[in-house]
Amino acid sequence: MDYPGNFDIPVNPAGKRIAVSRVMAIWTLVAFLLAIFLCGILLWSANSERLEPFMISADNNSGEWKIVGRNSDALEYSATRTMQESVVGNFVKNWFKISSDNSENENVWKVCERNSCISDDNLTFGNRTCAIYCNSGEDLYSKFSYSIMPDYQQRVQKGETWDLDEKTLSIIPMGKITENGGTWQVNGTITSSTSGSFEIKAFLKIARNKNLYNQSMGFYVADINSYRISE
């Protein structure tokens, strides 16, 4: 049977027109389905052809291997992570600083009331009063006052000063950095007035206590271990 060409029955003269519109409707439906199918194929083929190359950076000094240039998410840092980095940066600048003016040193190294760490005066830019105490845990501060400060005081007496060159400072996270802290590695160069410049490496553990360290969203330095790398 020639459908819809020969569908003209006398009883219903509009039969052919109905048949033609039916055929057209069916073909339109087929065309729609085909278009949707082609869209799917297009998507699939575009995806399947994509290569995902990765670049590995192998650090000969630290032995660390990492993926570079691919992970664009890594450029988005959370506020908590940035704050930890800031605490680390500011802390090492004060920890590795010995000034020729002893009153300035005493001002940085002394103990304050915890509440005064968040007073307006102490939070002004460039104020370094109690900078070590206000950003470290009790254990770390007692380590500082019993074993580090006597050494620093001896150096001051001998006329030695220390300056951490901020241009050489690099702060790298070690392992996972969470909302509650993490471990950070710091590399930098200290310029000593008596023994010249030397490289250092330090590992800082950041912890969080929102009640005591409001000035830094609760982050403080729980431990620091540093080493003189170059002669």
Partner 1 sequence: MKKLIMFFIGTLLLLLTFVALYFSGALFDASNDRKIQAFVFQPNNLSNDRIGRPVSVDQLSEKFVREKLIRKFVFEYFYVTPDIENIAIRTRGDSVMAAMSGPDVFKEWKKDQAEKIENLAGKKSFRTVNVTDEILKKGDYWEVNYELKTWDEPNNMDLNPTIEKGTLYLKISFEKGIRDQRAGSSFDVGEYLKEGGDPASIFKFRVDEVRS
Binding site for partner 1 (CB under 8 A): 32, 35-36, 39, 42-43, 46-47, 50, 52, 54-61, 63, 65-72, 75, 147-148, 151, 166-170, 172, 174-176, 183, 187, 190, 198, 200-201, 203, 205, 224-228, 231
DSSP state of 148: I
Distance CA 153, CA 145 (A): 11
Distance CA 72, CA 43 (A): 23
Q: How near is the Cβ of 158 to partner 1 at its closest, in Å? A: 12
Q: How near is the Cβ of 72 to partner 1 at its closest, in Å? A: 6
Q: Facing residues of 67 across strands? A: 56
Residue closer to partner 1, measured from CB, 65 or 125: 65
Residue closer to partner 1, measured from CB, 88 or 117: 88
Residue closer to partner 1, measured from CB, 147 or 157: 147
Pull the structure tokens for residue 104. 């300035």
Q: How near is the Cβ of 103 to partner 1 at its closest, in Å? A: 23
Residue closer to partner 1, measured from CB, 10 or 53: 53
Report in angstroms the alpha-carbon separations of 1 from 7, 14, 15, 179.
9, 18, 15, 76
> Does residue 19 sit in helix, strand or coil?
helix
Q: How near is the Cβ of 53 to partner 1 at its closest, in Å? A: 11
For residue 28, what is the enclosing H or E element?
helix 15-48
Q: What b/e string do you get for 107-116 counting C-beta neighbours within 10 Å, with b at 16 or more?
A: ebbeeeeeee
Residue closer to partner 1, measured from CB, 25 or 123: 25
